[in-house]
Amino acid sequence: MTEQPAGAADLRAPRDHAEAQLLLRTGAIDLEGRLLDASNVTLVGAIRTDTMAAECVYKPVAGERPLWDFPDGTLAGREISAFLVSEATGWRIVPPTVLREGPFGPGMVQLWMDGDEGVDLPAFVRKDDPGLRRMAVFDAVVNNADRKGGHIIPMPDGHVYGVDHGICFSVDPKLRTLLWRWAGKPLPDDAVAMLERLADELRGDLGALLHEHLTRREVRCTEQRVATLLRTGRHPEPSGEWPALPWPPF
C-alpha cells in the first residue's frame, strides 16, 4: 500500500484500509516537508504507532486559502466527505483519510500512496481503463472541480486512486476533469448498481455523516446529482457553465 518511512524498520506497514485508518487516527505525525506546488499548505511526513508506520499527507485547516466559490465549511471537510462517499461506493477511489488534530491544528490526514512510476500519466488518462471510468462517475457525484492528471495515482496492482478533493460538492455545476472520454455514453451496469445503493445511503447514515462537514444544500445537491445520473443513465457532458478542463492539466 505504501512504503515504511525511514527509521521505521522495526514497524510494519498497514495491511489493509482498516489498519490504515487506525494508523491515521492514532499515530504520531513527524512532518518532513511541504509540497510547494500545492495551492494550500500541504505537508508530508511519517506517521507511526507502536506497531505500524507509513507516509502521510497532512493538510491543516489553518493553511487553507479562502475561496470565494467555496465559502462554507473547510476544504479538509470536503476531503473527508469525498472519502466517505468513496467508501460508500465500494470502489475505494480515495485513499484512507481522517480528520484529526495534527502538529498545526485540525486537518486532513491521508495515507500517502506510492503510485506506479512506470506509468505515463498523459497517456494513461486517455485510456479506456475501468478504474478511470469509475473515477469519472465518482467525480460526477461529488462535483469535482479539479480532476487534474496529477491527482490520479495508478498503482502497481492496477488499482487507481484519486487525491485532492478539497474543491468538491459545490451546489453549482463545476465538474472540471480530464476524464471526459465517456461523456454522454451509457453508464456501465456496475455504476448503475452503485448509484442505486448510494442514493439509499445518502438518505440514511451517509447523509448524516456528510451533514457534519457540508451544508444541507450541498448534501441535497449531491443526492440530486445521483438522481440525475440514474435518470439519464449516462455519463455527464460538459455543462458550458464552467471550464470543462482543469488548468494546468497536470
Model confidence over 59-105: pLDDT tens digits? 999 998 888 778 878 999 999 999 999 999 999 999 999 999 999 99
At 176-189, the pLDDT tens digits run 999 999 999 999 99
For residue 7, pLDDT over 70 is answered with no
Asked if 108 and 59 touch (Cβ cutoff 8 Å), the reply is: yes
The closest alpha carbon to 79, from 2, 179, 159, 162, belongs to 162
Average pLDDT value for residue range 36-42? 81
Amino acid at site 131: G
What is the rounded (10 degree) CA torsion for 94, 97, 102, 103? -40
Instruction: Count the neighbouring beta carbons within 10 Å of the beta carbon of residue 196.
Output: 11
The closest alpha carbon to 110, from 66, 141, 79, belongs to 79
Which cell numbers in the block locate residue 210?
456528510
Instruction: Count the neighbouring beta carbons within 10 Å of the beta carbon of residue 247.
Output: 8
22: helix, coil or strand? helix
Average pLDDT value for residue range 119-147? 96
pLDDT, residue 2, reads: 59
Count of CA atoms in the C-beta half-sphere (13 A) of 36: 0
Average pLDDT value for residue range 41-70? 92
Cell 514497524, located at residue: 11
